[in-house]
Structure 1
Amino acid sequence: ELNVAAVDPDLSLAVAKNVAKTIQLYGVKSEQLLSTQGDASQVIGPLTEGQRRNVAVVNSLYKLHQSVMKVITNQNSFPAAAEQAVTTALKAVYDLMGSAVQPLLNSVGDSVEAIIITMHQEDFSGSLSSSGKPDVPCSLYMKELQGFIARVMNDYFRHFECFDFVFENTEAIAQRAIELFMRNASLIRPLGEGGKMRLAADFAQMELAVAPLCRRVSDLGKSYRQLRSFRPLLFQTSEHIASSPALGEVIPFSIILQFLFTRAPPELKSPFQRAEWSIARYSQWLDDHPSEKDRLALIRGALEAYVQSVRTREGKEFAPVYPIMVQLLQKAMSTLP
Structure 2
Amino acid sequence: MEEKDICLEIENNEILRKYVFENMKVMVDDSTVLTENIKQLTEAINEMNKTIEHQVLAKHNDLLIQASHISDLEVAAQSVNAQMQNFLVYAKKLKDRIHTPYDNLEKKITVLERLQNTCNLLRHSSKILALWDKLEPIKDNPPKEAIILYEITNLIGNNDFRGITLLEDILKEVAQRRKKLLQNSTSLLQTSLLNGDKVKLFQCFKVFHNLQCTQEQIQNTMINIQNELQKEMNNALNVQLVSIEIKKTGSNRVAPGKANIMNIQDFKNKLWENIEKLFKEDIYNGCSKVIMLQNVVNELHTIGNFRNIVKKFWSNLAIIFSSELEKSGSTINQCIEIDFPKLLKCFNDLISRLKYKDLEMKRLYFTKWENSFLSKSLGKLLEPVRTMWHLSQTPTMDQIDNAVRVIAEALSISLGDKQLSISLANSVAKCIKQMNLETEQRLVMESDVAQIIEPPTSSQQKNADLCNALYYFTSQVKRVLVNMSTTLPSESVQIVESSLKDTSSLQILQLFAESIKNSLHIILLTMHDEPDFTRSDDPTGKALSCSPYMKELQQFVSRCKDIYLVMFNEKSAVNECCINIAKNCIEKFIEHVCNVRPLSKFGRVKLQIDCKHLETALSPLIGDTVELDDYYRQLKALHMLLEKTPQDIAKSQAEGASLSYSLVMMFLFSFGGQQLVSPHSCAGWNIQKLMQWLDAHQNEKERLEFVAGALQRYQTYVRQNQIVSYDEVYPILLQLLEDGRKLLKS
State the one-letter code of the partner of 1:334.
K
Separation in 2, partners of 1:145, 1:246? 34
Which position in structure 2 is the counterpart of 1:159?
Answer: 567
1:75 counterpart = 2:458: no
Residue of 483, 488, 502 corresponding to 1:92: 502
Preserved contact between residue 444 and residue 459 of structure 2 (Cα < 8 Å): yes
Give the superposition deviation at 1:209: 1.1
Which position in structure 1 is the counterpart of 2:633?
Answer: 225
Residue 244 of structure 1: SS of its match in structure 2? Answer: helix
Per-residue displacement from partner, 1:92-114 (whole Å, max 9, x unpaired)? 113xx211222111101111111
Give the superposition deviation at 1:245: 5.1
1:177 counterpart = 2:585: yes
Preserved contact between residue 554 and residue 617 of structure 2 (Cα < 8 Å): yes
Which position in structure 2 is the counterpart of 1:271?
Answer: 679
Separation in 1, partners of 2:612, 2:657? 21
1:125-274 to structure 2, matched below 5 A, reads: 125-128=534-537, 132-133=541-542, 136-244=544-652, 249-274=657-682
Give the superposition deviation at 1:247: 6.7
Residue of 711, 714, 717 corresponding to 1:306: 714
Separation in 1, partners of 2:626, 2:502? 30
Give the superposition deviation at 1:82: 2.6
Which position in structure 1 is the counterpart of 2:198?
Answer: none
When normalised by structure 1's length, the TM-score is 0.95
Which position in structure 1 is the counterpart of 2:729?
Answer: 321
1 or 2, which has the higher helix percentage? 2
Give the superposition deviation at 1:217: 2.5
1:22-33 to structure 2, matched below 5 A, reads: 22-33=431-442
Residue 133 of structure 1: SS of its match in structure 2? Answer: coil
Relative to 1, partners in 2 of residues 1:172 and 1:33: Cα closer, same or farther, differing over 3 Å? same
Separation in 2, partners of 1:36, 1:142? 32
Residue 466 of structure 2: SS of its match in structure 1? Answer: helix
Which position in structure 1 is the counterpart of 2:344?
Answer: none
Of 271-280 and 55-64, deviating more is 55-64
Which position in structure 2 is the counterpart of 1:36?
Answer: 445
Preserved contact between residue 248 and residue 332 of structure 1 (Cα < 8 Å): no
Relative to 1, partners in 2 of residues 1:317 and 1:242: Cα closer, same or farther, differing over 3 Å? same
Separation in 1, partners of 2:679, 2:656? 20
Separation in 1, partners of 2:534, 2:448? 41
Give the superposition deviation at 1:279: 0.9
Separation in 2, partners of 1:62, 1:247? 48
Separation in 1, partners of 2:696, 2:496? 39
Separation in 2, partners of 1:193, 1:235? 9
Give the superposition deviation at 1:246: 8.2
Relative to 1, partners in 2 of residues 1:66 and 1:127: Cα closer, same or farther, differing over 3 Å? same
1:48 counterpart = 2:457: yes
Gaps in structure 1 of 5+ consecutive residues:
none
Give the superposition deviation at 1:148: 0.3
Residue 280 of structure 1: SS of its match in structure 2? Answer: helix
Relative to 1, partners in 2 of residues 1:246 and 1:314: Cα closer, same or farther, differing over 3 Å? closer
State the one-letter code of the partner of 1:307.
Q
Separation in 2, partners of 1:247, 1:22? 57
Relative to 1, partners in 2 of residues 1:247 and 1:172: Cα closer, same or farther, differing over 3 Å? farther
Relative to 1, partners in 2 of residues 1:158 and 1:142: Cα closer, same or farther, differing over 3 Å? same
Of 265-274 and 216-225, deviating more is 216-225
Give the superposition deviation at 1:8: 1.1
Relative to 1, partners in 2 of residues 1:43 and 1:128: Cα closer, same or farther, differing over 3 Å? same
Per-residue displacement from partner, 1:267-315 (whole Å, max 9, x unpaired)? 1111100000111111111111111110001111110110000000011
Relative to 1, partners in 2 of residues 1:59 and 1:298: Cα closer, same or farther, differing over 3 Å? same
Preserved contact between residue 539 and residue 605 of structure 2 (Cα < 8 Å): no
Residue 327 of structure 1: SS of its match in structure 2? Answer: helix
Give the superposition deviation at 1:31: 1.0
Give the superposition deviation at 1:131: 6.2
State the one-letter code of the partner of 1:187.
N
Residue 254 of structure 1: SS of its match in structure 2? Answer: helix
Give the superposition deviation at 1:75: 2.8
Q: RMSD value over aligned CA atoms? A: 1.6
Preserved contact between residue 126 and residue 195 of structure 1 (Cα < 8 Å): yes
Aligned length: 334
Preserved contact between residue 414 and residue 420 of structure 2 (Cα < 8 Å): yes
Preserved contact between residue 538 and residue 601 of structure 2 (Cα < 8 Å): no
1:288 counterpart = 2:707: no
Preserved contact between residue 471 and residue 570 of structure 2 (Cα < 8 Å): yes
Which position in structure 2 is the counterpart of 1:113?
Answer: 521
Per-residue displacement from partner, 1:76-134 (whole Å, max 9, x unpaired)? 2433443333222211113xx21122211110111111111111121211023576426
Preserved contact between residue 229 and residue 246 of structure 1 (Cα < 8 Å): no
Preserved contact between residue 611 and residue 635 of structure 2 (Cα < 8 Å): yes
Separation in 2, partners of 1:62, 1:269? 53
Preserved contact between residue 186 and residue 259 of structure 1 (Cα < 8 Å): yes
State the one-letter code of the partner of 1:20.
A
Separation in 1, partners of 2:434, 2:588? 41
Preserved contact between residue 704 and residue 737 of structure 2 (Cα < 8 Å): yes
State the one-letter code of the partner of 2:442.
L
Residue 598 of structure 2: SS of its match in structure 1? Answer: coil
Preserved contact between residue 553 and residue 617 of structure 2 (Cα < 8 Å): yes
Separation in 1, partners of 2:547, 2:411? 59
Relative to 1, partners in 2 of residues 1:240 and 1:310: Cα closer, same or farther, differing over 3 Å? same
Of 209-218 and 106-115, deviating more is 209-218
Separation in 2, partners of 1:245, 1:287? 23
Preserved contact between residue 133 and residue 197 of structure 1 (Cα < 8 Å): no
State the one-letter code of the partner of 1:180.
K
Relative to 1, partners in 2 of residues 1:207 and 1:246: Cα closer, same or farther, differing over 3 Å? farther
Preserved contact between residue 443 and residue 463 of structure 2 (Cα < 8 Å): yes
State the one-letter code of the partner of 2:579.
E
Preserved contact between residue 178 and residue 223 of structure 1 (Cα < 8 Å): yes
Preserved contact between residue 426 and residue 496 of structure 2 (Cα < 8 Å): yes
Gaps in structure 2 of 5+ consecutive residues:
1-409
Residue of 62, 65, 75 corresponding to 2:471: 62
Preserved contact between residue 575 and residue 621 of structure 2 (Cα < 8 Å): yes
Preserved contact between residue 456 and residue 564 of structure 2 (Cα < 8 Å): yes
1:3 counterpart = 2:431: no
When normalised by structure 2's length, the TM-score is 0.44
Give the superposition deviation at 1:49: 0.8
Give the superposition deviation at 1:38: 1.8
Separation in 2, partners of 1:54, 1:246? 50
Give the superposition deviation at 1:213: 1.1
Separation in 2, partners of 1:150, 1:8? 53
